[in-house]
C-alpha cells in the first residue's frame, strides 16, 4: 500500500502544482480576452497526465500484490520493496508536471498573443512529459518482473 500511495500521492502533488502554475496564466489570458479560453485550457491540462500515470501504477501495484481483486495480501519482502520502488519511480517522475506547468504558462502567454503558436507550445509543454513516461515504463517493468 505504501508504493501505491507514493505513486499517486507524489504525482498528484506535481500535477496539482503544474496545473496551478498554468492555471494562473490561463486565468490572466482569459481575463484579457475570453476567446483565449480553449487554447489556455488545452495547455493547462497537460500537467494533469502525470497524476494519471501515478494512478495507473497505483492500480497495478494494488492488483499484483493482491490487495485489489480479492487475492492474498501476503507478499514477499522483496515484492514489498519492489512495490515501494515502483511507486517512488512513478511518483517522483510525476514531479515533472511542475516544469510542464511552467512551460505551459509561458505557452499560454505566447498563444494569447498569437493563436497560431498553439501546436508549437503544446510540443514545448509535452517535452517535460518524457520524464514521466520513462518513470511509468520503469514502474511497470518493476511491477511485472518484481511482483507478478
pLDDT in tens, 56-98: 999 999 999 888 887 667 889 999 999 999 999 999 999 999 9
* 67: number of Cβ within 10 Å: 16
pLDDT at 72: 66
The number of residues in the chain equals: 148
Residue 25 grid coordinates: 496564466
Q: What is the DSSP string of 27-92?
A: HHHHHH-GGGHHHHHHHHHGGGHHHHHHHHHHHHHHHHTTTTTT------HHHHHHHHHHHHHHHH
Here the CATH number for the domain that contains residue 131 is: 1.20.120.610
pLDDT at 52: 98
Which of residues 53 and 71 earns the better pLDDT score? 53
Which of residues 67 and 101 earns the better pLDDT score? 101
Instruction: Provide the domain limits for residue 47.
Output: 2-146
Total tally of structural domains belonging to the chain: 1
Task: Confirm if 116 and 36 have CB atoms less than 8 A apart.
Answer: no
Q: What is the pTM of this model?
A: 0.92
Residue 148 has pLDDT above 90, yes or no: no
pLDDT at 138: 98
pLDDT at 115: 96
Amino acid at each position: 500500500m505504501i508504493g501505491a500511495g507514493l505513486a499517486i500521492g507524489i504525482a498528484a502533488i506535481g500535477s496539482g502544482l503544474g496545473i496551478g502554475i498554468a492555471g494562473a496564466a490561463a486565468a490572466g489570458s482569459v481575463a484579457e480576452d475570453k476567446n483565449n479560453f480553449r487554447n489556455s485550457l488545452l495547455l493547462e491540462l497537460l500537467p494533469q497526465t502525470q497524476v494519471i500515470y501515478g494512478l495507473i501504477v497505483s492500480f497495478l501495484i494494488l492488483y499484483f500484490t493482491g490487495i485489489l481483486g480479492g487475492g492474498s495480501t501476503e507478499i514477499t519482502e522483496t515484492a514489498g520493496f519492489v512495490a515501494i520502488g515502483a511507486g517512488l519511480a512513478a511518483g517522483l517522475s510525476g514531479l515533472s508536471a511542475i516544469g510542464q506547468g511552467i512551460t505551459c504558462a509561458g505557452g499560454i502567454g505566447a498563444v494569447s498573443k498569437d493563436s497560431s503558436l498553439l501546436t508549437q507550445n503544446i510540443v514545448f509543454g509535452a517535452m517535460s512529459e518524457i520524464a514521466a513516461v520513462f518513470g511509468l515504463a520503469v514502474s511497470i517493468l518493476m511491477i511485472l518482473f518484481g511482483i507478478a
